[in-house]
Amino acid sequence: MGAYNKYDGEHCSHNEILLNNILKKEWGFDGVVVSDWGATHDTKEAIKNGLDIEMGSYTDGLSANSIHGYNTFYLADPYLKALRNGEADITTLNDKARRILRLIFRTSMNRQRPWGSFATDEHAQAARKIGEEGVVLLKNNNILPLDVSKIKSAAVIGENAVRPLCVGGWSASLKVKYEISPLEGLRKIFGGKSNVVYSQGYSSKVPTGVSPEKYCDSLRLEAAKIASKSDVVFFFGGLNKDELQDCEGNDRLSYALPYGQDILIDELQKLNKKVIVILLSGNAVEMPFADKVPAILQAWYLGSEAGNTIAEILTGKVNPSGKLPFSFPYKLSDAGAYQFGKMAYPGDSINVEYKEDILVGYRWFDTKKIKSRYPFGYGLSYTTFNYGKPTVSQRLYTKGDVVKLTFNLTNSGDVAGAEVVQLYVGDKKSSVLRPVKELKTFDKIYLKPSETKEVTLQVPVSDFAFYSEKDKQWIVEPGEFELYLCASSTDIKYKMKIDVK
């Protein structure tokens, strides 16, 4: 699917460089290119520059979903007219038709496919398992997991504890059979053994005709009252997939938590030293409260089984094993794009310059020696893991070889758990700009208490390559490389040097 933006003066849904030259010719892609809704803008470019299927377009002021507008789409009547006038050739049309037929034959025309299922128990179990393995424990000062039998009263605070989060976000919106909220999950796992009381605490929408300041103050006061009388406080905040938070088509206005959540968390932790912050979001947020609260959980948007998954992790029925797929900077100005001025971030609404080059994400923080609050690949567990000293299959490699790094991993704690072991590679001397190190492979290893496993991570030397813009090909330069065995991009357990000839 082509993106909405332009690259080098042409929209991505009909871009000669991206679609024809790179995707279809250089990469040999023989499938279908489809536009995003409203991403097609020109009939001639759509015909010649690689677009095969045009989704909804806003031609003649009609809705992209309007059946009456289909004939006016750029690849509808205007394309037919161009064919009849000789302005478009049949060869290009045949190529589009072949690609679409090829897609049909590979999918819906396959009579050997088994019948599928819809919203079954197996799907729910899969959602739960994915959630259990994806939740990231960011901080834990020995408060988690909680012993349910020792908690008489629990406060659940925050709109996200009850707000449906499968819906919203435009293309991220799902129509689910059911959705277990965090409040439901906690009440279920406490099973009536504790008094679980809910308070909204903050609101994303203020009722019409009500003073916003007074309304928000009243919510905070109610939450504070409940928190002061509870053994533990579960604060469910983060973002919420509305049009200004975690939604396509709009950028967030701030890196901070919205709706006064920071103020509320600060007030709660002054009244109760056992405030556990659970963030439901698809992205990072600023965390001025990180040093004040004893535990923080990044729980993303977990789908139908969200409440059950979160409750089981908080109470230790499931040991968290998720790792961050991107770095959480302390402040927005630490991010690469931000540091290059307005044209790099946020641009002028038409043009954006990608000045950080290849130093995206953790590569930026590593190379520029900027400390992130929580780095790429980071995530805590209820157990601990010891890494044994690694060995490599050889010291000198050729470009056709495979590097094999072997080490022992031990669960040195009291509970079963999983560790994501990560292998990064750094080119010590390169003719082009390269990051200090780049993740090349990883594995998730499950271990019982005191169990040790021998782990081997393999990386083809060809994966050490960079793409040469000058030579239009991938190149592995000879020389010295460094291997980094890590638990995160900044938690380096061992480093080893190898040579490539």
List helix spans (H) across 75-177. 77-84, 90-106, 121-134
Residue 487 CB coordination number (10 Å): 19
Taking all residues of the chain, what is their mean pLDDT, rounded to a whole number? 94
pLDDT for res 188: 96
Model confidence at 485, pLDDT cuts 50, 70, 90, reads very high
In what order do the strands lie in the sheet containing 479-486? 396-397, 492-500, 479-486, 417-427, 438-447
Q: Name residue, tokens 């677009």.
A: 51
Q: How far is CA 375 from its chain centroid?
A: 14
Of 408, 417, 407, the C-alpha closest to 446 is 417
CATH architecture of 385-500: Sandwich (2.60)
User: pTM of the full predicted structure?
Assistant: 0.93
Structure tokens at 53: 């299927």
Cβ(293)–Cβ(265) under 8 Å?
Answer: yes
Q: Which residues of 142-174 are buried (b: 16+ CB within 10 A; e: fewer)?
A: ebbbbebeebeebbbbbbbbbbebbebbeeeee
pLDDT for res 243: 81
Residues of the chain with CATH 3.40.50.1700: 123-314
User: pLDDT (tens digit, 9 = 90+) per residue, 251-268?
Assistant: 888 999 999 999 999 999
pLDDT for res 481: 98
Fold (CATH) for 123-314? Rossmann fold (3.40.50)
User: pLDDT (tens digit, 9 = 90+) per residue, 429-470?
Assistant: 999 999 999 999 999 999 999 999 999 999 999 999 999 988
Q: How far apart are CA 423 and CA 441, in angstroms?
A: 5
Residues of the chain with CATH 2.60.40.10: 385-500
Between 359 and 111, the more confident residue is 359
User: pLDDT (tens digit, 9 = 90+) per residue, 208-250?
Assistant: 999 999 999 999 999 999 999 999 999 999 999 888 888 887 8
Q: How far apart are CA 99 and CA 9, in angstroms?
A: 26
Q: Given a cut of 90, is residue 63 above it in pLDDT?
A: no
Give the active site residues.
Answer: 36
Q: Given a cut of 60, is residue 62 above it in pLDDT?
A: no
Q: First CA to last CA across the chain, in angstroms? A: 40
